[in-house]
Amino acid sequence: MISKNAKLGNNVILGENVVIEDNVIIGNNVTIGHNVVIRKDTIIGDGCIIGDNTVLGKKPFKASASATTEEKELLPLKIGKYVTIGANCVIYRGAILGDFVFVGDLASIREDVEIGEYTIIGRGVAVENKTKIGKYVKIETNAYITAISTIEDYCFIAPAVTFTNDNFLGRTEERKKYFKGPILRKGARIGANATILPGKEIGEDALIAAGAILTKNAKPGKIYVGSPAKEIKDVPEEQLLKNQSYYKNDK
């Protein structure tokens, strides 16, 4: 079903059972898989690929006990040029994806999320609401990015990393004043299965080792290991972001 009010560009390829609602705008040379649902007002740039069974522009449902989901009018989902979105993904209304973003199968990206260009969101990753992710970031399989987090450019987040934002673990109304996810500064890296406690800041080029539990802020350019994580040494000079061939310094 394609709304008569939708605008499709040239050379748009549609799979079977695609639903495109009112006021959707789709650019040129876009490929859309089978059983895709594109909710009203969604904007999709040129050259995008959308995998089977994906839902774009979904409005959030609010659980009665939810502390971070607001009932408000959201801007349309906006997807940049040459974005690839895998199968069985759900991307909410109010999100913005920059050009050349890649989203793996089974990923979920909530409302009020901004993702910069060339960033990779891996298979099964959950990005919760009110989160900002920079450009050239890589978030690997099954990582959990909690609401109200900040991830700057060129960060790396390994599989099964967990962000947290509630020091009170769901108890007392007082906790709602203090919700805050982690902050990763440019070039920060986190190893597999690490857990980052609410509001902790990881400095530029810092490295949090696999399995670590970060309970305090991490200094720039330092390596942290263990539970609780402790500083052990400097990140080697050859591993610093400024020394990588792919790094593009915008300053």
> Is position 2 within any domain?
no
> Is position 67 within any domain?
no
Q: What is the pLDDT of residue 67?
A: 62
> Is position 224 within any domain?
yes
Q: What is the pLDDT of residue 170?
A: 82
Residue 247 one-letter amino acid: Y
> Is position 141 within any domain?
yes
Report the alpha-carbon distance of residue 249 to residue 4 in Å, rounded.
Answer: 45
Is residue 108 a contact partner of residue 71, using CB atoms and an 8 Å limit? no
> Is position 32 within any domain?
yes
Instruction: Write the CB contacts of 15 (distance below 8 Å, at least 6 apart in sequence).
Output: 32, 33, 34, 35, 36, 52
Report the alpha-carbon distance of residue 163 to residue 166 in Å, rounded.
Answer: 10
CATH, residue 203: 2.160.10.10
Report the alpha-carbon distance of residue 204 to residue 241 in Å, rounded.
Answer: 9
Q: What is the pLDDT along the chain (251 residues), one digit of tens a residue?
A: 999 999 999 999 999 999 999 999 999 999 999 999 999 999 999 999 999 999 999 999 876 656 666 677 899 999 999 999 999 999 999 999 999 999 999 999 999 999 999 999 999 999 999 999 999 999 999 999 999 999 999 999 999 999 999 988 888 888 888 899 999 999 999 999 999 999 999 999 999 999 999 999 999 999 999 999 999 999 999 999 999 999 988 75
> Is position 41 within any domain?
yes
Report the alpha-carbon distance of residue 178 to residue 193 in Å, rounded.
Answer: 25
Query: Domain span at residue 95?
Result: 7-60+74-243
For residue 98, the SS3 value is coil
Q: What is the pLDDT of residue 158?
A: 98
Q: What is the pLDDT of residue 176?
A: 83
> Is position 69 within any domain?
no
Q: How many structural domains does the chain have?
A: 1
Token pair recorded at residue 174? 């007082």
Q: Exposed/middle/buried for 55, CB within 10 Å: 0-12, 13-18, 19+?
A: middle
> Is position 104 within any domain?
yes
Q: Which residues sit opposite 4 in a β-bridge? A: none
